[in-house]
Amino acid sequence: MSTVASESSGKLARRVQDSSRRLRDFEARLRGATSPRERAELADIIVPEYVSVGDSAKAAEVIDSIVDTGEPNLDARITALRAIVEAMHGNNPDAILDRAFQLVQPTATSTMAVVHHRAGVAYLSARRSSDAQKHALQGLWLADSNGERSIAARAASVLYAVNYHLTDDLQAARYYAELAAVEATAAGEMAIRRLFLCAQLDFAISFGEWDRARSLVDLLRRDKWYDAHSGGQAAQAAIILLAGYSGDFSAMKGAADAFLESAHVNADYALGYALSALALAGAGLDDEAGLLARRALGLSRERSESEVYFHSVRRRLAGVISAYVCVLIGDVHRGSRALETRRKSPGGSGTLARALVASVRGQQVDVADPALRNVRGLMEIVIGVKRVRLDRVQRIPERIRTLTHTELTLLRTAATGKTNGEIARERGVTRNAVERRLMSAYEKLGVKNRTEAIAKLAEI
């Protein structure tokens, strides 16, 4: 796993570096360009790159420096980009899009497809699902009819995003993810193809279709999934969850470490820490699990200004998983409170949070419930972790089970060789308080001293 992770991380870094270099080259050419037509053509390449990563400030800076070229079709494409930037800033894109459509010449089918696609992106940014869907469908139909498979793939990707993030219709989102992959393959757009194979993998995990998920992972590995930045993270997250479903918490932790090595944004770090914490909780390493769960919980609250849709999904999911880990390891107040605040979250994270809140309250949760279909895979994993922990507790002798969390923690700390005074200073309590807790633990274990208590725990 470490060799694969190192190789993946290295190739990913090179790809990101190459992409950044190409973008810098275009930016340099833009700074040196004086012809309005050349500047518009460069903006037509650069601005979609900024839009794809949510950098509305840089996108606006470029768009504001572009003037009309007198070529209607080119001006229509740029005007549509201007509408996207306006929508990203929270403004109404209607008037700008009207102008973009008026500029397109009647015979320019390809340009019309692009403008419809970009209108879909603008309305997606404005969170107007019906308008986004209408324009993306029109762009898809025009592009497909005209053999413009690359534009068709991008229009299908907008329809995927609308259904995944705005209407929460995962069945429709899955259909458009599959269509985007088909169109991208036909167009030779391998990065888009990989991205939407990863989206299909995300659905397979969400729906608990484990055999299909394994097949997609194998396909993506053969297809060099690690070369696609955002897609690669989705595939790595799926590998973590597959290991969790099989109950191999060591492999799950290793896969989570590999995921963290290639993380670039807070949302990915949050999800990596949350899944790593879940693996540690499954392995019974509660102190380490608690540390990572609290870290993930903190990061899950930090929304960056440039956060794009799939980042927000991972960040919210990380918050729910890490909150439940807190509950599992005994930090019930923190975990329950965090789950309660996430019940109203949109999409799958809200559904998962509501189901886990019910579970924490002692209610029976049926993973086969149709209402949980979109998070069935995750529910099976977290319930599996809980079941493993309960089975482990049942195998522990009654005397050990009567120990409080504090007593068990003190014994574990004592086993490292620290004195009572050192333990007291670490925990900010008196030495007498530590000694009283340890004496209570010795009595419950039926031993006389620290050495016998540590030996008893080690034996179990």
CA–CA separation, 292 and 273 (whole Å): 5
Is 411 inside any structural domain? yes
Q: What's at 381, amino acid-wise?
A: I
- Residue 115: band (very low, low, confident or very high) from pLDDT cuts 50, 70, 90: very high
Is 405 inside any structural domain? yes
Label residues 379-413 b or e (16+ Cβ within 10 Å = b).
Answer: bbbbeebbebbeeeeeeeeeebeebeebbbbbbeb
Is 311 inside any structural domain? no
Note the pLDDT of residue 11. Answer: 44
Number of domains in the chain: 2
Mean per-residue pLDDT for 358-384? 88
- Residue 412: band (very low, low, confident or very high) from pLDDT cuts 50, 70, 90: confident
127: phi > 0 → left, psi -120 to 50 → alpha, else beta; which? Answer: left
- pLDDT tens for 153-164 read 999 999 999 998
> Are the CB atoms for 133 and 119 separated by under 8 Å?
no
- pLDDT tens for 331-354 read 889 999 999 999 888 888 899 999
Is 278 inside any structural domain? no
Mean per-residue pLDDT for 261-271? 87
Residue 69's φ and ψ, nearest 5 degrees, are: -100, -15
Note the pLDDT of residue 75. Answer: 94
First to last CA, the chain: 31
- pLDDT tens for 32-71 read 888 899 989 988 988 888 888 778 888 999 999 998 899 9
Place of tokens 């080690």: 458
Is 217 inside any structural domain? no
C-alpha distances in Å from residue 70, one per residue of 37, 196, 419: 8, 37, 82
Place of tokens 């769960």: 293
Domain membership of residue 76 as a residue range = 33-183
Q: Is the pLDDT of residue 236 over 90?
A: no
Q: Which residues make Cβ contacts (< 8 Å) with residue 114, sequence separation at least 6? A: 77, 80, 139, 151
Q: Is the pLDDT of residue 167 over 70?
A: yes
Tokens of 202: 């995300």
> Are the CB atoms for 453 and 410 separated by under 8 Å?
no
Q: Is the pLDDT of residue 127 over 60?
A: yes
Mean per-residue pLDDT for 219-232? 62
- Residue 278: band (very low, low, confident or very high) from pLDDT cuts 50, 70, 90: very high
Q: Is the pLDDT of residue 408 over 90?
A: no
Alpha-carbon torsion, ordered 308, 309, 311, 317, to 10 deg: 160
Residues in the chain: 460
CA–CA separation, 294 and 333 (whole Å): 13
Note the pLDDT of residue 356. Answer: 93
Tokens of 436: 């009283």
Q: Give the ranges where 188-222 is alpha helix by DSSP (H).
A: 190-206, 210-222
| Rg of the chain (C-alpha set) | 26
- pLDDT tens for 434-445 read 889 989 888 888
Q: Is the pLDDT of residue 131 over 70?
A: yes
Q: Is the pLDDT of residue 330 over 90?
A: no
Which among 164, 183, 202 is the end of a domain? 183
Q: Is the pLDDT of residue 19 over 60?
A: no
Note the pLDDT of residue 442. Answer: 86
| HSE-up (13 A, CA, CB side) for residue 45 | 15
> Are the CB atoms for 278 and 382 separated by under 8 Å?
yes
Is 163 inside any structural domain? yes
**Cα 145 from chain centroid (whole Å):** 34
Place of tokens 């190739």: 11
Note the pLDDT of residue 395. Answer: 63
Note the pLDDT of residue 389. Answer: 86
CA–CA separation, 350 and 342 (whole Å): 6
Mean per-residue pLDDT for 376-399? 81
CA–CA separation, 94 and 378 (whole Å): 40
Which among 139, 163, 183 is the end of a domain? 183
Note the pLDDT of residue 104. Answer: 94
CATH code of the domain in which 454 resides: 1.10.10.10
Is 453 inside any structural domain? yes
CA–CA separation, 456 and 414 (whole Å): 13
Mean per-residue pLDDT for 119-144? 95
Note the pLDDT of residue 186. Answer: 92
CATH code of the domain in which 86 resides: 1.25.40.10
Neighbours of 253 (CB within 10 A): 25
Mean per-residue pLDDT for 229-255? 84
CA–CA separation, 436 and 424 (whole Å): 12
Note the pLDDT of residue 120. Answer: 96
Which among 183, 218, 235 is the end of a domain? 183
CA–CA separation, 83 and 56 (whole Å): 11
Q: What's at 25, amino acid-wise?
A: D
- Residue 5: band (very low, low, confident or very high) from pLDDT cuts 50, 70, 90: very low
362: phi > 0 → left, psi -120 to 50 → alpha, else beta; which? Answer: left
Choose between 307 and 374: higher pLDDT: 374
Note the pLDDT of residue 15. Answer: 44
Is 108 inside any structural domain? yes
